[in-house]
Amino acid sequence: MGDEAVQSTNDDASQCKRFAVQKGYWKDPYIQYLVRSGDRRAPEINRGYFARVRGIKVLLDQFLEKTKCSCQVVNFGAGFDTLFWKLKDENKLPDIIVDFDFRAVTSRKCQYVKVRPPLLDQVKAVSGSEAVQIENAELHSPKYHIMWADLRNTSQIESKLRGIDNFDFSKPTVFITECVLVYLQPDKSSELIKWAAESFANSVFINYEQVHMSDKFGQVMVSNLRGRRCELEGIAPCQDLDTQKLRFVSNGFDDAVALEMGEVYRYLPADEVHRVERLEFLDETELLNQLLQHYCLCWAWKDKDQIVTEAVIAL
Ligand SMILES: C[S@@+](CC[C@H](N)C(=O)[O-])C[C@H]1O[C@@H](n2cnc3c(N)ncnc32)[C@H](O)[C@@H]1O
């Protein structure tokens, strides 16, 4: 799968998110400024996105709470994720958030931020008197950075992070890969994970992506994607929950937990689940269950100073 096709997966993910937001699955007043309204999505897809977005947020919130926001978030393959704006509205901004993606993607995101006041004003609001710089397809401000890099090139990532004045490799740091590693060859995703483990002594790596890809339903998912010229190069570690955990533990993380999304769904706040289940009629719960079984949330940690484990050990 070429880099352009990989980049276009961001358009699909952000359109699905925008559609689910419009339907009322969760609140995100910012996504409308980054992506146009797309086609209608099936209720199962909307519920799947709800579980994905809420599952990651529940873990991240625990980490932010335990570290009292004295931490950093690095979002690899962030696409048009609106995490910075959501955390700002919730008064939960960490010391620094860095979004990484291909230049073609960061260029568009930066351009939208530059020309859309609802996005830019929020970045300015936390920048004090320091200017927000948007140039060369990157955004730099004291708390929020959008930067381009190829995730297959860890020295590029490292040098970009070292270029941020107050970025601190010894501070508790959360890495997020939301539907991203599956697009990297397994040796390249391993390299990225290993670099993160070796460079940060106190960190959590949150990964959301496909699992059980070799069973019947998984094979159908893979061949449907292939039919849309979307070859998942990083499918090998998506075999089962153990292979998902192993990729972190064998590359330097202390330990890891992996849960199917069906299980994550059951841990989500009951009142919210009850509310979203009444938004749209679902006549095929079997399909939803199959979908939820074929995605997982895996989180791994390195905890030299005993700061992070407690924050993420359980959902
Ligand atoms: C399916 S999208 C997910 C976007 C976002 N994480 C979300 O869940 O809404 C995958 C993203 O990973 C990015 N990506 C994949 N491989 C990459 C690489 N080698 N370097 C930089 N970005 C990459 C793509 O450009 C795309 O934005």
Question: Looking at ligand 1, which atom is closest to the CA of residue 148?
Answer: 21
Ligand 1 site, residue 261, Cβ cutoff 6 A: no
Structure tokens at 168: 């601190």
The highest-level CATH class for domain 3-312 is alpha beta
Which residue in 150, 240, 130 sits closest to 195, CA to CA? 150
Dihedral (CA of 269, 272, 278, 283) sign:
negative
Is the CB of residue 296 less than 8 Å from the CB of residue 258? yes
Cα of 184 vs centre of ligand 1, distance in Å, is 10
Pocket-testing residue among 1, 4, 6, ligand 1, by greatest number of atoms within 8 A of Cβ: 6
Q: Is 77 annotated as a binding-site member?
A: yes
Cα of 166 vs centre of ligand 1, distance in Å, is 25
Cα of 182 vs centre of ligand 1, distance in Å, is 10
Domain ranges, ordered by start, for the chain: 3-312
Residue-by-residue pLDDT tens, the chain, 315 positions:
788 889 989 999 999 999 999 999 999 999 999 999 878 899 999 999 999 999 999 999 999 998 999 999 999 999 999 999 999 999 999 999 999 999 999 999 999 999 999 999 999 999 876 789 999 999 999 999 999 999 999 999 999 999 999 999 999 999 999 999 999 999 999 999 999 999 999 999 999 999 999 999 999 888 888 877 777 899 999 999 999 999 999 999 999 999 999 999 999 999 999 999 999 988 878 999 999 999 999 999 998 887 766 655 555
